[in-house]
Amino acid sequence: MTMLAVKDIDVYYGNIQALKGVTVTVEEGEIVTLIGANGAGKSTLLKTLSGLLKPKSGSIEFLGNSIAGKPAQGIVKSGISHVPEGRRVFANLTVEENLELGAFLRKDKKGIEADMKKVYDTFPRLLERRKQMSGTLSGGEQQMLAMGRAIMAKPKLLLLDEPSMGLAPLMVKTIFEVVKDINEQGTTILLVEQNANMALSVASRGYVIETGKVVLSGSADELQSSEEVRKAYLGGH
């Protein structure tokens, strides 16, 4: 079943067009990755999906309902959570308060408690630091917190923007294992990454974005073996 259908959207920052007729679909249960260079428009697409930006034209359907131009809070409510680039944890709040805010729109106290426990099981490091201000966490811990916070909203679709950015290789591995885990537990994932190798190793399909356009798409295997992708993004020969 198609979970997300983005059709032909144009997005602008003022007068500058950042996305040009982008079409992307995500099926339920998949991990789909968007790869591309800095400034290609990957983050712009995620921000449009989560309601921080509005498309000028085109349509976005999530589970059959149009969400293009809906305010961010409505989109969270319908089941999309966005882990933004650079984690953006609330540094002035404790780890636990950050997680509570992730569940801001939920009313089921018991369910929230259970999910909080699940997050702590997934990231034991966060449990150790739950009373600590999140600004004092390391980069990897902040990434865990940002992901945990998004999971607290109980999303059907998780948007991950550069989860590996600035992290040590070992931490990158941990994060990607968790990404796979979250997916296996039933959450569909749209993953933006510059680390294309890593991204294609967990994803089932991918899109390559260049200067605001989708230039290539296919299964992860196809992309991994494609000459252009290897040259431009995988550092191959």
Residues forming contacts to other proteins in the complex (CB under 8 A) are 50-52, 71-73, 76-77, 81-82, 84, 88-93, 97, 100-102, 104-105, 149-150, 153
Q: How far is the CB of 139 from other proteins (least distance, A)?
A: 16
Name which of 11 and 153 has its Cβ closer to other proteins: 153
Name which of 89 and 192 has its Cβ closer to other proteins: 89
Q: How far is the CB of 76 from other proteins (least distance, A)?
A: 4
Q: Give the whole-angstrom CA distance, residue 16 versus residue 217.
A: 25
Name which of 81 and 164 has its Cβ closer to other proteins: 81
Q: Give the whole-angstrom CA distance, residue 81 versus residue 115.
A: 15
For tokens 């409510």, the residue is 77
Q: Give the whole-angstrom CA distance, residue 194 versus residue 235.
A: 12
Q: How many CB atoms lie within 10 A of CB 121?
A: 10
Nearest to 222 by CA among 199, 200, 193, 202: 200
Q: How far is the CB of 52 from other proteins (least distance, A)?
A: 6
33 φ, ψ to 5°?
-115, 145
Name which of 7 and 77 has its Cβ closer to other proteins: 77
Q: How far is the CB of 105 from other proteins (least distance, A)?
A: 4
